[in-house]
Chains A and B, each alone.
Chain A
């Protein structure tokens, strides 16, 4: 024994060690049962949880189908676009990050913050796009500074590319992020927030074809949501392409012909209903709607009196004015109320009961037959005829030509115009039809409204002697491998059943309108091809003071409907120039240019030699009859 230490024996306490050992065993048993519970009973659930922790599926946007014109010219295609996204859960310091982004990329702080706030409330670790359409240079800057910017992500998405800029913007429509309301609808049930969808025009009506099938990637991420690797991948399928009936050159020349004027033009193939040109002027830049719309541009769109955002060809409803006389004339001929010889004396006005209806020519046209009445657009002749026909008979014939309801063109929200009847008035206003309301209807005023598409279809039906085709814009749907998925041929909506002789008599009048002295449509004349047509000038306001001094929005609309060639019609065209005042001076020249381009394309008319420096020279209305003052629409804009 060292140091005299007293060692105390310890027998008494040893018994307790056995109890303690049991306590120890019990402690370990407790741990083991818990492990049993977690690792055996709950193993499957917890394994699934661990998988959902690390795996995420990321949709890969499909490349949208392209849009081609009837000759294969690409009108809308795609290019990659980079957007800057943040994953809020990964961001260490939001303020500092926004500071760096503003400093590094020169982005707008308020916009960043606004988009950031908007994206809140989405699932964890889902990126929020805070700046769309950033440049390649900005992407490089971001990549260089990646490690100093935790939570920042660059996303690549295909966006629309418009090689011809604003051309046919209304027809194409534009893409924008799917809205919350749209997401709630069945049509978009497979879409995710942030997806781009067609909002208008063909992009919308053919969304299902164009969109393609989004692919997806299952990726592994770490606890902070950083991408580690791709587990599996399904490739997106590119959407189908559309081959349109539109001819790009015709479209371009039609838009150019409008210049600064507001209005719409539709050109149809009279034998198939194919839409060759579809113009609503002025246009807008569809690319701006997918990205960041500059506020000043947006403001200018909204404030422009010419309403650039409106699709006037599809939704604009105008009183057809004198162009409607074609219908009245055909109705009279079919009902046996007039023939080619019967005459009416125009004294400048027409009296019905106590009402007096003026002809546009206050001096009167004298004695006129049908041909002259059409050629010089005598109102009195049609007042009288209309009175004889009555409003319901006029309406019957108008409807035969597809007026008064949508024709069913392959675009959403087509308007139907309006063809009044007695019954309609009763229903609409709970009032009887007054006899005095019929004469204005006979000359396309009063309640009558028509869309440019309807006017084009009407004149095309006249041209082909009575077959109403459904106007359509898409010729073929083509899959990504170039195979035709679907082809759209001519679809006959109705046949008017009118006698060819009636059409012949009216057509002779329409030929005279364009080609004979005193014809109101001479500015649509081509020397190489015979053109027939009808002008129209429709009142916007009923009471007018002095001509020519009204504010823009009260001026008359100018219209022209026509077709060519006269003998064997191929193309029909309807032109509406809003507040253009005279159909003959504002609308007819535009129709003439469209027709000229059509026949130039066909090789019927020799193309003028183009001087490279002045392409505009080719637009000189070479077909203008000599001596006629050439009034460019641009000059009338204000």
Chain B
């Protein structure tokens, strides 16, 4: 099974890039959680454990030929749909809205895993079906069902951020496969009157307010807008060079919410300034483009689709999270890959990275 060529073709650049970003993440979590005193292991150390676990996942994912996912994609997809339903049922009956599923020894979050599985399922679908002139509206039926069902289930939990990401990953993959301009235009044309109708006819005032506050947090500076305003202050007050490691006032005095998880980048921006942000953004961009590069070097369509999907997953996580932290997008609970504290995000990201490495090192095998 282990071929020597695999080892020589191992993508060390990608691997080291991931490790570098993760290391920066650990350093940042050390600062972000500096004033917290969690019981037991400090957050940065726990994050290191998660990274080590992530490396194990990379090793596992790399050691098997990714084509096994091609064979099992629909089965995995079906199983994950089942788990999503189970989460809804168990969640409703036991603890209210919950995303977690207790499997005895470990708890898993099916919606998180769904991000990876949807990539596999869509890749599997398009392996057999690529219309040379792009997808028509009718061609979109099955892919949309494939994405729509899990997205709705996740939205029901409710976990808007993850649902949105699943849709965006899928949309990116569709764009890669190719969609006709007419199709895009038709979809947009259909969307405009739908939104307009919903806004004027079906939404009540309080619902509209909620949506408006969601989009413009300044409407409600002491309520939902407070955190995003504080985050912008944190980022901006960092200036060009930042306030220095462990010197961030916004973070250390806890004006930031979730500062070691979703708002970790805001802590980083305050302490390392524009230059630090520039470096991190460049690292992330290289990571995403590297993923696309793997797709372009891959002669196998399934592998290429997988790589594009994983790159899209990373890209959207990064853009949505940082965009939220700097006040470009509304606040949705999306973690920053490798930077935010948390096991689930680390596992998902590392699985994706494992897939990229897997595809990359097997590109010459066909």
Q: Quick one: given A1-B366, A24-B285, A31-B323, are A10 and B304 in contact (CB under 8 Å)?
A: yes
Q: Is the CB of B366 within 8 A of A14?
A: no
Q: Is the CB of B281 within 8 A of A49?
A: no
* Chain B CB within 10 Å, residue with most, of A12, A13, A38: A38
Comparing B85-93, B153-161, B174-182, B197-205, the segment that makes contact with chain A is: B174-182
Q: Is the CB of A47 within 8 A of B237?
A: yes
Does B239 sit within 8 A of A, measured CB to CB? yes
Partner pick for A222 among B254, B284, B288, CB 8 A cutoff: B254
Q: Quick one: given A20-B175, A32-B278, A54-B249, are A39 and B239 in contact (CB under 8 Å)?
A: yes
Partner pick for B328 among A5, A16, A30, A47, CB 8 A cutoff: A30
**B233 surroundings in chain A (CB, below 8 A):** 46, 49-50, 53
Q: Is the CB of B255 within 8 A of A46?
A: no
Does A98 sit within 8 A of B, measured CB to CB? no
Does B300 sit within 8 A of A, measured CB to CB? yes
Q: Is the CB of A42 within 8 A of B65?
A: no
Does B315 sit within 8 A of A, measured CB to CB? yes
> Contact flags (1/0) for A1-33 with B, using CB distance below 8 Å?
110010111101110110011001101101110
Q: Quick one: given A20-B308, A31-B323, are A50 and B249 in contact (CB under 8 Å)?
A: yes
Q: Quick one: given A46-B233, A220-B253, are A16 and B238 in contact (CB under 8 Å)?
A: no
The residue in chain B whose Cβ has the minimal distance to the Cβ of A55 is: B249
**A42 surroundings in chain B (CB, below 8 A):** 236
Partner pick for A39 among B177, B250, B269, B295, CB 8 A cutoff: B269
Q: Is the CB of A50 within 8 A of B250?
A: yes
Q: Is the CB of A222 within 8 A of B253?
A: yes
Tell me the interface secondary structure of chain A in the complex. Answer: helix
* Closest Cβ–Cβ distance, residue A596 to chain B (whole Å): 69
**A637 surroundings in chain B (CB, below 8 A):** none
Q: Is the CB of A38 within 8 A of B292?
A: no
Does B34 sit within 8 A of A, measured CB to CB? no
Q: Quick one: given A5-B67, A17-B292, are A38 and B322 in contact (CB under 8 Å)?
A: no
**B292 surroundings in chain A (CB, below 8 A):** 17, 20-21, 24
- Taking residues whose C-beta sits less than 8 angstroms from the other chain, chain B's interface range is 35 or more
Q: How distant is the Cα of A359 from the Cα of B319 in the complex, in angstroms?
A: 106
Q: How distant is the Cα of A228 from the Cα of B278 in the complex, in angstroms?
A: 33
Q: Is the CB of A24 within 8 A of B301?
A: no
Tell me the interface secondary structure of chain B in the complex. Answer: helix
Q: Is the CB of A2 within 8 A of B269?
A: no
Q: How distant is the Cα of A38 from the Cα of B177 in the complex, in angstroms?
A: 37
Does B121 sit within 8 A of A, measured CB to CB? no
* Closest Cβ–Cβ distance, residue A30 to chain B (whole Å): 7
Partner pick for B235 among A25, A38, A223, CB 8 A cutoff: A38
Q: Is the CB of B300 within 8 A of A43?
A: no
Q: Is the CB of A2 within 8 A of B277?
A: no
Q: Is the CB of B319 within 8 A of A31?
A: yes
Does B326 sit within 8 A of A, measured CB to CB? yes
Partner pick for A35 among B65, B254, B277, B319, CB 8 A cutoff: B277
Q: Is the CB of B285 within 8 A of A28?
A: yes
Q: How distant is the Cα of A20 from the Cα of B307 in the complex, in angstroms?
A: 12
> Contact flags (1/0) for B263-294 with A, using CB distance below 8 Å?
00000011001100110010011001100100
Q: How distant is the Cα of A20 from the Cα of B127 in the complex, in angstroms?
A: 19
Q: Is the CB of B315 within 8 A of A24?
A: yes
**B238 surroundings in chain A (CB, below 8 A):** 39, 43
**A35 surroundings in chain B (CB, below 8 A):** 235, 269, 274, 277-278, 281, 326
**B273 surroundings in chain A (CB, below 8 A):** 39
Does B115 sit within 8 A of A, measured CB to CB? no
* Closest Cβ–Cβ distance, residue A135 to chain B (whole Å): 34
The residue in chain B whose Cβ has the minimal distance to the Cβ of A5 is: B67
Q: How distant is the Cα of A21 from the Cα of B296 in the complex, in angstroms?
A: 11
Does B228 sit within 8 A of A, measured CB to CB? no
Does B234 sit within 8 A of A, measured CB to CB? yes
**B239 surroundings in chain A (CB, below 8 A):** 39-40, 43, 47
Q: Quick one: given A39-B240, A53-B249, A53-B253, are A12 and B235 in contact (CB under 8 Å)?
A: no
Does B356 sit within 8 A of A, measured CB to CB? no
**A12 surroundings in chain B (CB, below 8 A):** 130, 132
* Closest Cβ–Cβ distance, residue B262 to chain A (whole Å): 16
Does A36 sit within 8 A of B, measured CB to CB? yes
Does A34 sit within 8 A of B, measured CB to CB? yes
Q: Is the CB of A13 within 8 A of B277?
A: no
> Contact flags (1/0) for A50-75 with B, using CB distance below 8 Å?
11011000000000000000000000
* Chain B CB within 10 Å, residue with most, of A2, A25, A45, A50: A50
- Taking residues whose C-beta sits less than 8 angstroms from the other chain, chain A's interface range is 35 or more
Does A224 sit within 8 A of B, measured CB to CB? yes
* Closest Cβ–Cβ distance, residue B279 to chain A (whole Å): 11
**B99 surroundings in chain A (CB, below 8 A):** none
Q: How distant is the Cα of A13 from the Cα of B270 in the complex, in angstroms?
A: 41
The residue in chain A whose Cβ has the minimal distance to the Cβ of B238 is: A39
Which B residues, 29 to 67, have Cβ-Cβ distances below 8 Å to chain A? 35, 65, 67
Q: Is the CB of B253 within 8 A of A223?
A: yes
* Chain B CB within 10 Å, residue with most, of A8, A39, A222: A39
Q: Quick one: given A8-B127, A24-B285, A30-B328, are A39 and B253 in contact (CB under 8 Å)?
A: no
Q: Quick one: given A20-B292, A21-B292, A27-B315, are A13 and B177 in contact (CB under 8 Å)?
A: yes
* Closest Cβ–Cβ distance, residue B171 to chain A (whole Å): 11
Q: Is the CB of B300 within 8 A of A7?
A: yes
Q: Is the CB of A46 within 8 A of B236?
A: yes
Q: Is the CB of B176 within 8 A of A10?
A: no
Q: Is the CB of A39 within 8 A of B130?
A: no
**A223 surroundings in chain B (CB, below 8 A):** 230, 253-255
Does A107 sit within 8 A of B, measured CB to CB? no
Partner pick for A16 among B176, B270, B285, B302, CB 8 A cutoff: B176
Partner pick for A10 among B237, B254, B299, B327, CB 8 A cutoff: B299
Q: Is the CB of B253 within 8 A of A34?
A: no
Q: Is the CB of A31 within 8 A of B249?
A: no
Q: Quick one: given A8-B301, A16-B178, A32-B278, are A45 and B236 in contact (CB under 8 Å)?
A: yes
Does A344 sit within 8 A of B, measured CB to CB? no
Q: Is the CB of B288 within 8 A of A24?
A: yes
Does A139 sit within 8 A of B, measured CB to CB? no
Partner pick for A50 among B65, B172, B234, CB 8 A cutoff: B234
Q: Is the CB of A13 within 8 A of B178?
A: yes
* Closest Cβ–Cβ distance, residue A433 to chain B (whole Å): 71
The residue in chain A whose Cβ has the minimal distance to the Cβ of B235 is: A38
Q: Quick one: given A28-B281, A31-B323, are A10 and B178 in contact (CB under 8 Å)?
A: no
**B326 surroundings in chain A (CB, below 8 A):** 31, 34-35, 38
**A47 surroundings in chain B (CB, below 8 A):** 236-237, 239
**B127 surroundings in chain A (CB, below 8 A):** 8
Q: How distant is the Cα of A14 from the Cα of B305 in the complex, in angstroms?
A: 11
Does A540 sit within 8 A of B, measured CB to CB? no
Q: Is the CB of A39 within 8 A of B176?
A: no
Q: Is the CB of A27 within 8 A of B319?
A: yes
Q: How distant is the Cα of A224 from the Cα of B292 in the complex, in angstroms?
A: 45
The residue in chain A whose Cβ has the minimal distance to the Cβ of B248 is: A50
Q: Is the CB of B299 within 8 A of A9?
A: yes
Q: How distant is the Cα of A340 from the Cα of B285 in the complex, in angstroms?
A: 118
Q: Is the CB of A39 within 8 A of B274?
A: yes
* Closest Cβ–Cβ distance, residue B165 to chain A (whole Å): 14
Q: Is the CB of A10 within 8 A of B274?
A: no
**B281 surroundings in chain A (CB, below 8 A):** 28, 31-32, 35
User: Can you sample 8 A-B contacts with CB below 8 Å?
Assistant: A2-B65, A2-B67, A20-B176, A35-B235, A35-B269, A38-B235, A39-B236, A222-B254
Q: Beyond A42-B236, A223-B255, A228-B253, list 13 extra A-B contacts (CB 8 Å).
A: A13-B177, A17-B308, A20-B176, A20-B292, A20-B308, A24-B311, A28-B319, A34-B323, A35-B269, A38-B236, A38-B326, A39-B235, A47-B239
Chain B interface residues toward A at CB < 8 A? 35, 65, 67, 70, 127, 130, 132, 172, 175-178, 230, 232-240, 249-250, 253-255, 269-270, 273-274, 277-278, 281, 284-285, 288-289, 292, 295-296, 298-302, 304, 308, 311, 315, 319, 322-323, 326-328, 366
The 10 closest A-B pairs by CB, nearest first: A46-B236, A50-B237, A38-B236, A39-B274, A222-B253, A43-B239, A47-B237, A10-B301, A8-B301, A223-B254
